[in-house]
């Protein structure tokens, strides 16, 4: 069964607990937490304290997506706060191999993310050090954008290498385009605006899990 990771960026920030609870009660598999540094992307989002409180409150794996130029400054804080999955971007100017190995040594699952315009080879270079490859299906920074279908070829290319880890997509995923992604090798669907603030979350989660076993 594919895993659904609701992205809390689309939750109501002043009602975060209410919205996350409804996602957890609906049976979501993971929770996706975006971290933005207002530099790697032109937006600002969640801190390790938020991850800590989510971890203390909800029994769901936390999938933390670091959209940061300098993830090394906060990686340990996020892991100590309870992030099970910690993903960094391949485009940053850093020793990405070393950072991924560090996440694994600290007991986390390392992930490597690429923007829609970054060649898939940039992620494949880290296959040995990562447990997850995140192919962004929109330019990172904001929810509510349209999925870039050109990314499907990259997901297929990852699958063709025999990769056994998770293949995650993030951005513009809705119930009506999910099949395109699962046919291309997707194992984890990050969904923000398609889930929060739209009708009954529990019904949506049931439909998704039933259609994508």
Q: Which stretch binds ligand DX5 (CB under 6 A): 14-22, 46-54, 87-95, 137-145?
A: 137-145
Give the C-alpha separation, 16 to 24, whole Å: 12
What mask of x and - would describe binding to Zn ion in positions 15 to 54, judged by CB under 5 A?
A: -------------------x--------------------
From Zn ion, ligand DX5, none, interface partner of 173 (C-beta below 5 to 8 A by class): ligand DX5
Nearest distance, CB of residue 162 and ligand DX5, angstroms = 27
Residue with tokens 């996602």: 23
Is 76 assigned a catalytic role?
A: no
Asked if residue 138 lies in contact with residue 145, where contact means CB atoms within 8 angstroms, the answer is: yes
From ligand DX5, Zn ion, none, interface partner of 110 (C-beta below 5 to 8 A by class): none
The strand pair at 62-67 and 85-89 is best described as parallel
Collect all residues with Cβ–Cβ distance below 8 Å to 65 and sequence separation of at least 6. Answer: 32, 33, 34, 35, 87, 111, 113, 134, 170, 190
Asked whether position 89 contacts ligand DX5 by CB under 6 A, the answer is no
Among the listed residues 49, 148, 170, 203, the single catalytic one is 170
Positions annotated as catalytic residues are 34, 170
């Amino acid at each position: 069964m594919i895993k659904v990771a609701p992205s809390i960026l689309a939750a109501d920030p002043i009602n975060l607990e209410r919205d996350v609870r409804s996602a957890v009660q609906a049976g979501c598999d993971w929770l996706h937490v975006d971290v933005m540094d207002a530099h790697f992307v032109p937006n600002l989002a969640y801190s390790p304290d938020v991850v800590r409180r989510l971890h203390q409150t909800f029994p769901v794996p936390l999938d933390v997506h670091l959209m940061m130029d300098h993830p090394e400054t906060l990686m340990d804080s996020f892991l100590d706060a309870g992030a099970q999955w910690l993903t960094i971007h391949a485009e940053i100017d850093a020793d990405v191999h070393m950072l991924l190995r560090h996440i694994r040594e600290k007991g986390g699952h390392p992930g490597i993310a690429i923007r829609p315009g970054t060649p898939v080879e940039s992620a494949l270079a880290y296959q040995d050090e990562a447990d997850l490859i995140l192919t962004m299906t929109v330019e990172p920074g904001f929810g509510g954008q349209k999925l870039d279908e050109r990314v499907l070829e990259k997901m297929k290319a990852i699958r063709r290498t025999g990769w056994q880890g998770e293949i995650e997509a993030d951005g513009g995923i809705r119930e009506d385009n999910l099949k395109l992604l699962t046919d291309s090798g997707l194992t984890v669907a990050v969904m923000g605006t398609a889930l929060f603030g739209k009708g009954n979350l529990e019904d949506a989660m049931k439909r998704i899990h039933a259609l994508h076993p």
